Amino acid sequence: MPEVLIPVGPSDNVDWVKKTLSSAVSLNLNRVVVYDNSEREDLSQLIDQFNVVHIKDKRMKQVNMARLRNKLISLARERVVVLMDSDVVIKSTSNLIKKVEEEGYSFSWMHYAYSEEEMNKPTEVGENNPNLGCASLDLEAIKKIGMFDEKYARDEDVWVYSKLKKEGMKVGSIEERCLHLNRSHERKDLRTSLKEARRNLWRPKYDVMLMMDGLTQATFLTGYTYYGSYYVVGLLSVLFYPASLLYLPIVGFGVKYYGGFKRWFYNLIPGLALALAFPYGIAWNLVRRLKH
């Protein structure tokens, strides 16, 4: 029977961890393993209140999510595992596990919902962002690809999706969603939009790394194409001002895709940051390759 693997870190919210562990224990799987490198007494005491395997380790000096995933996997006894981040609630894993055990998938996941009302929201067109916060893995497949590549300190979920797919293995999501208690990625207002924009300033270095490693999936480049078009049209407009009319279909598509002007605007800011940082991603990877 599958088991649950959960990482707990130094900046985790106590209330979220409590809800996550309650959810994990209620799934009634083989066992729940909590890898705790928080070095926090309040979190340690909370974890010990639950019927889980509590593994304590030293705090990572610098967060490397790929290394963290490898640590988690090293603790597993079963071939099929459920991964849960410390800020999610999963109501049922039966279909998630079925996707791996019966349908032959190596990696399956749930998309996030940020409220109870969104839990039954159908998957949107183009919504194909793999995540390891609510996921099931076939560890035999993960070991075949050499575990997680630790140079991908971030975006390790996109890397494993792309690597497994390149090796001809099946990957995909299920229609059910998990509740993401941390709403900082929701882009619901100007503050969270700007916060996401700051994150997107470093993301391109991993996306370009995927390209250089031959793992790029077209799905994950659409954002660069769409948001990059804002800069292209802006430059064309300086040379030939009627070209600015091209913004009409570009903005119209965005408003329709995001379901309204406000949602489009709050997604536009981090999107422009992502496209703006793309040259940095190229330069960072070229310098890195020259050094090696």
The 10s digit of each residue's pLDDT in 102-160 is 999 999 999 998 888 888 887 776 667 899 999 999 999 999 999 999 999 888 999 99
Compute the half-sphere exposure of residue 251: CA atoms within 13 Å on the CB side of its CA: 13
Report the pLDDT averaged over residues 198-225. Answer: 86
Q: What is the pLDDT of residue 259?
A: 85
Q: What is the pLDDT of residue 127?
A: 66
Neighbour order of strands in the sheet with 80-84: 53-56, 32-36, 3-8, 80-84, 134-138, 105-113, 170-180, 88-89
pLDDT tens digit sequence for 152-194: 988 899 999 999 999 999 999 998 999 999 876 777 788 889 9
**Is residue 272 helix, strand or coil?**
helix
Q: What is the pLDDT of residue 3?
A: 95
**Is residue 146 helix, strand or coil?**
coil
- Average pLDDT over the chain reads 91
pLDDT tens digit sequence for 18-44: 999 999 999 999 899 999 999 999 999
Instruction: Report whether pLDDT(87) > 80.
Output: yes
CA 86-74-78 angle, to 5 degrees, is 85
* pLDDT tier at 289, thresholds 50, 70, 90: confident
Tokens at 207, concatenated? 């996306």
